[in-house]
Every structure is written in structure tokens, then in C-alpha cells.
Amino acid sequence: MTDNASPPGAIDALQWENRRFPPSAAFKNDTLAAGTFLYDEADADYQGFWARQSADLLDWAKEWHTICEWELPFAKWFVGGELNVSFNCLDRHVLGGRGDRVAFYWEGEPGDSRVVTYAELLDETQRFANVLKDLGVGKGDRVNIYLPMIPEAVVAMLACARIGAAHSVVFGGFSANSLRDRINDAEAKVLVTADGGFRRGDVFPLKPVADEALADTPSITGVVVVRRGGNEVEMEAGRDHWYHDLIGAADPVCVAEPMDSEQLLFLLYTSGTTGKPKGIMHTSGGYLTQVAFTHKYVFDLHPETDVFWCTADVGWITGHSYIVYGPLANGATQVMYEGVPNHPGNDRLWEIIEKYKVTLFYTAPTAIRTFMKWGAAEPEKHDLSSLRLLGSVGEPINPEAWMWYQEHIGGNSCPIVDTWWQTETGAIMISPLPGATTTKPGSATFPLPGIGAELVDEQGDRVEHGGGYLTLTRPWPSMLRGIWGDQERYRETYWSRFDGRYFAGDGAKLDSDGYLWLLGRVDDVMNVSGHRISTTEVESALVAHPAVAEAAVVGATDPTTGQAIIAYVTLRGGAAADEQELRAFVGEEIGHIAKPKTIYFTPDLPKTRSGKIMRRLLRDVAEGRNLGDTSTLADVNVVSELQRRAAETPPDD
């Protein structure tokens, strides 16, 4: 491979990694997918393959007549078919005699816990579906969900699915402004929230934040509030209701009506390169097929004996697909945890694994790097021998972190599945099959059966070895169906860069064995602890401060969070603001996850002659590199001044 084959902006090429880990004989002995049969079937006829999976994994109320209708970039899957997603996640397990199976071992941060069976989850979901109906929610309406990690979040999502309303879950760490914008974009009728939740030993308020948003959300006619934090909240008469009051009074039966396969299941907002977040649309039959398929085969799920734990928040796509829809469709038993990994001690997760005898564990590289920082003594305090498989998602996992994970969490006896996918893809796309694939630390290996992924160069020509842009070459069942309210932006964002291909925004490289190595994002969306944050959104938040004239934000490589947000800010003449104040301001505007780690004040930003900020140079400065090409700079002195200041600041303050 030559270096200039790498796409511009991609993370520097990783070292070639030659360690290999074939599946162990013990694992292969009882795996669902040894050998190549799934790949062979899919290679022969990928649509037929997905059709067989949908019939195998789901219960359909009405057969579809066409597997896939594809008018690039718009896909429909299982056209003409009807199913109810909540029926597939709940009723059929209960009807099949598995109502007593545990759906969730829920662990609250303060140490309280609940066990929720499939029968109980079905009962509560039916009641809450009736609550929503009573609040005027019907098929095709949108419901916003702004909750901590509590079982009611799952109930609310499934209740929406049951009546054909789409949910839009907003992560509890987002600010009032972010919540308001998302509610207004979706024109949601009802908001489901809580008084507050627990985080790092404290109660964090949700309802008070929601109240701020609700001051300016004309579409909302009802608010349901779960009591969790116990904090004081105000309830607006006529609009706000306690969840427990409504549930207690609700009709216990809500029949799951069949919905069209293409019924909108949810919107999930994700940052784009321009300020306005995109409402990614996912529908029912195709989405459920692929999340169920990937959850079953990538995690080698044995639903009678496995205990699955995905540490994501339900506010992200990973929580939607691998806490709610995939695992519940498969009748899995899961752990759900409310809080942070270091409360009360740095061994909380390992204590939970031991307590519930977790067998399948799915987390993010940023978490793994944090565990490494805390030291191997923490997991060593606990018996983790129940684990039989580990997963990773959200960012490229560095080989050292992969090896540490395998040794200190997996006890050198668990395969690791590094799973690449996006909010937009809905489900895992590139990953090992643990009983079939020889893994290499740091590689997500190969596209899953049925998935077409290829690298291309700048011109869109296929790259067979070395670096390139990661593209998807054919429709897949759980693909996004578009951007809510803006299908032109959908076409433009994902389908215009390379003819006939979906461009995922990531760079990757292919080694000589055909293994894929993800290199990070090539655009300006930062990935901080697995959260995608657009530079433009943070810049807009900074500029909204009265003292700020201009801001440029970059993601600089950070050993813990993957990328850290570095901001360069120019103040208005005569105005004053300090770093602390601006960080807090961004926290208010977007949420704590978007607060810059470091802010440099500068009289000027590096720009091209046409006035575009050159973030690439700022990234070089932030990472202490020599500057690349500066020939397009309007004023070279600007960066040398910034470099001087960066050198004065200790890198890890």
C-alpha cells in the first residue's frame, strides 16, 4: 500500500497487525454459525437470504409479496408484508410459554434492582400503549422519550411500536435546547420523561430541563413523568401526568395490530456536518429482521442460557438495536444498568457481570481504554468466568485495547467481535462471526452475509488493498429510509459522493488477506467516547455566546475518549469570557458531552482565501504535528501564533 492511497482526513494508517485468533475448538463446538454456510447462501442470492432470515426470525401477520424494491436511494423491504414489532418482541414469547423468562435484570446505580420477565414487560407495554392512546397518540404520530436507563424507557418504545407511533428518543445528557429542537423537528405530540435519574451518586434533573424545552414546543399536548430521581418537580395541570397514576388506571389489554412492513418505527437524531441534526428514519420489517439476525449470529445467542449485556444508553442507536429490538425479538435475557461504571467503585461493571453471570458483553473502545487506565486489579476482584464472548462498537479499537480486553476481561477464552455500523445502517454491517472468523486485533474483519461493502478511491474506483473510502454497494434491510422532512438532504449526504454507492463517511483500509480496518471518519463529525458530535454544532453553540465572534472546533486524537473537542475562539472586540464559562455555555446549549476539553483564544482563525476555516491545520496544531500544506492559507502568521500557544499548554490539562 502507498500512503497516498489513504483518503485525506482519515486517521493515520495503523500498523499492520499480524496476530491472529481463530475460534477455539470449544467455542466452535456449540456455535450457531461455524463454517461458511451463511456467507455461501447470501453470496448465491442476497435478497433470498434476507427473505429466509425474515421468515425464520420473525412472525408475520401477512406475507410480503416483494423482498426488496430498490429505487436508489430509496429502499422498501418485505413489501406488502405486515407485522407488529412489539408482538414480535413480547407476545410471541409469552404465547410460546416463555412468559416467565427474564427479559431484564435491571440494576440501578444506587444499588436497587428489578427483575422484569417477558410477561411483565408485555403487561406494562399494553397498559402504556393504552395510556398513549388516551393521550391522543395514534398511528403515524411521534412521541419523544427523554428518560434515564430504566425499564420504562423500553416500555415506552415498545408501546409506541405497538400502536404504530414512531418514537424519537433523546439521550438524557442532552440540553433543553437540543431536546426542544428535536421535539419541534419531529412535531411530537407527547413527551415521556422522568423527574430525574442517578448518575455518579447524584440525581440529575430531567423534568426541569424538559420544562425549559417545553416552553417552546407547540406540538406537545401531553407529558408523562416517571418517578425515579425523587427530586422536586413542577407538574403543569392538564398537560403533565405521573406515569404510575396513568399506568395504574390503564386498560390492561391493547391488541397488537399488524402494521405495514414499512411503517415508521422510529426517528433517531444524529449530528451532521451542518448544524441541524438529522432525524434518521427507520421502519419495521427490514429493521427488525436485520437487528434480530445480527444479534443472534454476531453474539452467537443461545437464548435459554445466555445473559447479554450491552452497556450503551437507549438514547443511541446501539441501545435501540441491541438493548431493545434485537435482543427482545430473539427472546434474550439481558442486564440493563442505569449508571456510570465508576460508582461506587471502579469495579462496578465487573461486580454486575459476576452478580448476573453475564455471558455476552458488548461495550465501546472508549470504555475499554478507561478500564485500562483504572488497571487490571479492578476486574481481578471479580469472577468473570461466566463470560464467553466480548463485543466492541463505536470507534476503531486499537490493537492494545483489544488485547487488554481479551486478556483481562475475557480471560483469554472469549472471542471478540468488533462490530462496525452506524445510526444510519441500523444494524451491524461489518463484524466477525465468532465461531467462523479468525480475528485480528483491531480489525472488524469482513462484511456480514448479505452485506456489500467496498473501498473506493477519490474517483470512486475500487481499492482492493490499502486505504480508501468505505462504501456500501447494495441495499440492506435495516438501512435508513431517509432523513425526516428532508429527503434531498438524504440523497445529498449519503448517495452523491460516489455514483450508486452509499458513502458511510469513514475511511478504512484492506490488508492483503482482505480484512477491513476502520480508520475513523473522514468528514468533520467528531467521535467523542463513541458519541458523534459535529464540529459545526459546537461552533454554533460557542458563537451563540455574546462574547464570541467566531469559533473553529476540531476533534484531536485523545487516548481515552477517542477524540477530544478542541476549540479555537475569537472574542468580540472589547468582550471578555473565560474558558470555564464557555465550556459551561456549550454544556447548556448542546449537553455535557459536547463541552470542549480545551479552548484556545485567538485573534484570528486560519482560513482559505475564500473564507473557509481550515480545520485540518487546527487538528495538526492540536495534535502537535508539523503543518502540512499551508499554501491555501490566507494568513500564515495565524497558525504559527496558535502553535506557540499550544506548546505552552500541557497536553493533558
Interaction of residue 313 with ligand 7RM, rule CB under 6 A: no
Residue in the block written with cell 407538574: 235
Q: Which is nearer to ligand 7RM, 327 or 394 (CB)?
A: 394
Q: How far is the CB of 397 from ligand 7RM (least distance, A)?
A: 7
> DSSP letter string over 609-627?
TTS-B-HHHHHHHHTTPPP
Grid coordinates of 89: 418482541
Q: Which of 207, 295, 348, 521 binds ligand 7RM (CB under 6 A)?
A: 521
CA distances for 284 relative to 186, 297, 353, 449, angstroms: 18, 20, 32, 21
Interaction of residue 534 with ligand 7RM, rule CB under 6 A: no
Quick one: how far is CA 216 from the chain centroid? 27
Interaction of residue 326 with ligand 7RM, rule CB under 6 A: no
Size of the site for ligand 7RM (CB under 6 A): 23
Q: Which of 231, 422, 487, 560 binds ligand 7RM (CB under 6 A)?
A: 422
Interaction of residue 423 with ligand 7RM, rule CB under 6 A: yes
**Burial class of residue 212, CB neighbours in 10 A (0-12, 13-18, 19+):** middle
Interaction of residue 419 with ligand 7RM, rule CB under 6 A: yes
Interaction of residue 527 with ligand 7RM, rule CB under 6 A: yes
Q: Which is nearer to ligand 7RM, 78 or 322 (CB)?
A: 322
Q: Which of 78, 269, 371, 421 binds ligand 7RM (CB under 6 A)?
A: 421
Q: Which of 7, 148, 391, 396 binds ligand 7RM (CB under 6 A)?
A: 396
Q: How far is the CB of 646 from ligand 7RM (least distance, A)?
A: 26
Beta strand ranges found along 243-387 (DSSP E): 259-260, 264-270, 278-283, 307-310, 333-337, 360-363
User: Using CA atoms, how far apart are residues 21 and 28, in angstroms rounded to an integer?
Assistant: 13
Interaction of residue 565 with ligand 7RM, rule CB under 6 A: no
> DSSP letter string over 533-598?
EEHHHHHHHHHTSTTEEEEEEEEEEETTTEEEEEEEEEEPTT----HHHHHHHHHHHTBGGG--SE
Grid coordinates of 507: 475511511
Q: Which of 106, 420, 494, 498 binds ligand 7RM (CB under 6 A)?
A: 420
Q: Which is nearer to ligand 7RM, 164 or 391 (CB)?
A: 391
Q: Which of 394, 415, 447, 466 binds ligand 7RM (CB under 6 A)?
A: 394
Q: Which is nearer to ligand 7RM, 198 or 316 (CB)?
A: 316
Interaction of residue 502 with ligand 7RM, rule CB under 6 A: no
Interaction of residue 566 with ligand 7RM, rule CB under 6 A: no
207 Cβ partners below 8 Å, 6+ apart? 193, 194, 195, 196, 225, 231, 233, 234
Q: Are 444 and 457 in contact (CB under 8 A)?
A: no
How big is the chain, counted in residues? 653
Interaction of residue 398 with ligand 7RM, rule CB under 6 A: no
User: Using CA atoms, how far apart are residues 291 and 330, in angstroms rounded to an integer?
Assistant: 9
Cα-based angle 443, 449, 454 (whole degrees, multiple of 5):
55
Interaction of residue 418 with ligand 7RM, rule CB under 6 A: yes
Residues 249-278 that bind ligand 7RM (CB under 6 A): 270
Interaction of residue 524 with ligand 7RM, rule CB under 6 A: no
Residues 428-447 that bind ligand 7RM (CB under 6 A): 444
Q: How far is the CB of 223 from ligand 7RM (least distance, A)?
A: 28
What kind and span of H or E run contains 92?
A: helix 92-93
Q: Are 633 and 639 in contact (CB under 8 A)?
A: yes
Q: Which residues bind ligand 7RM (CB under 6 A)?
A: 270, 316-318, 393-396, 418-423, 444, 504-506, 518, 521, 527, 530, 532
